[in-house]
Amino acid sequence: MNEESRDLEKIPAEPAPVLSETDTPVTATTPPVEEPVETPAPETEVPVASAPEPVISEGDAPEAEAAAPSVATPPVAEAEAEVVKPAAAASTDEIFYTPGGEPEYPRFRLMARIEHMTLLVSFTILCLTGLPQKFPFSPVSQWMIGAMGGIDMARMIHRWAATALVLGSIYHLLTSSYRLFVKHEDMRMLPDLKDGFDLRDTVAYNLGIIDEPPKMRKFNFGEKFEYWAVVWGTGVMIATGFILWNPIAATRFMPGSYIPVAVLAHGWEAVLAAVSIVIWHLYNVLAKHRNVSMFTGTLSHKIMEEEHALELERLQAGGEPWKVIPAAVLARRRKIFMAVAGVVLILAVVLVFWMFTFEDTAIIAPQVTRDVFVPLATPIP
């Protein structure tokens, strides 16, 4: 019995080491506990997840960090290039540079420069030939009339310059209609409320009330005022000039007392126009700045920054100087416009020819009768 009891005591003692040995395969067959750590799922999520560090092991972390910049940064760089490059190209294509390296921005197109040259030449000749007739007793006026070959030649030159002014006005109306109806451009010369604010802020800046001048558009309030003054003055000069050129024909549809009124209006409007051009316009384009944009078509960065800051910012941001129309649409609109404008131009030329040719009363100066007839005096008885 003692041996059996010893055997029984040995039986429960022996399984303990057996169980401990057999537990090792059980631990080997328990991968579910370690699956979430050893699964390669985070490796497949590396290109998608932006911060996979808490899931990936330390050995995989450098690879994730090396892959992150190669995947994320190129699209950002390409997106920035797509946004910046077109703007830079659009702005630099229209910018010119002087020999000194100063940028020049587009200001006037060829049609506008032709209009300005026509107005410049015709207005100058009209002043040189008309003002001496306004003040005929001045020694300077008499010398100028004599230098031009006499009063008849001065009047003839004056009328030819007036014809050029009228034709230039018709050309301006046609080009303005082209920009409005064909190009569908905004009428930038129309004054609005901002021009009033710019005038107020400019006066306040000149008086030292505010620290910065206002930022103005392509055409500021001063240029708009001068433009409409030219339009108004040209209309007055053409209407009164027709009356003075054709005084007999004019009295057929208006009282004869209007002729002296036309003489006064025509002469003093000419004085006002000449004084405003010399004092205001020439000062702004020659004395204040050397603005030759009407000849070159471009304006310097300095003048743009001072007088047209909003337009400068728009051009530097990549804006187009003028409205761009698709070629097909532009061609179709041009056909319609050219047909209508051709008819209007022919009628206008015929009207101008009729207005300035059927009477020469005011061109040829009347000859002074030298022989004076004196009736015989009745003898006194």
pLDDT tens digits, one per residue of 194-213: 999 999 999 999 999 999 99
Region 10-27: mean pLDDT is 46
Lowest model confidence (mean pLDDT) among 44-53, 169-178, 208-217, 252-261: 44-53
C-alpha–C-alpha distance, residues 208 and 13, integer Å? 108
In terms of C-beta density within 10 A (0-12 exposed, 13-18 middle, 19 or more buried), how is residue 281 classed? middle
Neighbours of 105 (CB within 10 A): 22
The token pair at 248 is: 């007999």
Domains defined along the chain, listed by start = 23-93 (no CATH), 110-185+220-296+325-355 (1.20.950.20)
Distance of CA 312 to the CA centre of its chain: 9
- Indicate if the pLDDT at residue 301 is higher than 70: yes
Phi and psi at residue 298, to the nearest 5°: -125, 160
Which residues are registered as beta bridge partners of 299? 105
The model's pTM: 0.68
Q: How far apart are CA 136 and CA 362, in angstroms?
A: 16
Cβ proximity of 131 and 163 under 8 Å: no
pLDDT tens-digit profile of 282-298?
888 888 888 889 999 99
* Rounded CA separation 98/217 (Å): 23
Residue 132, pLDDT score = 94
What six digits make up the tokens of 45?
A: 């999520």
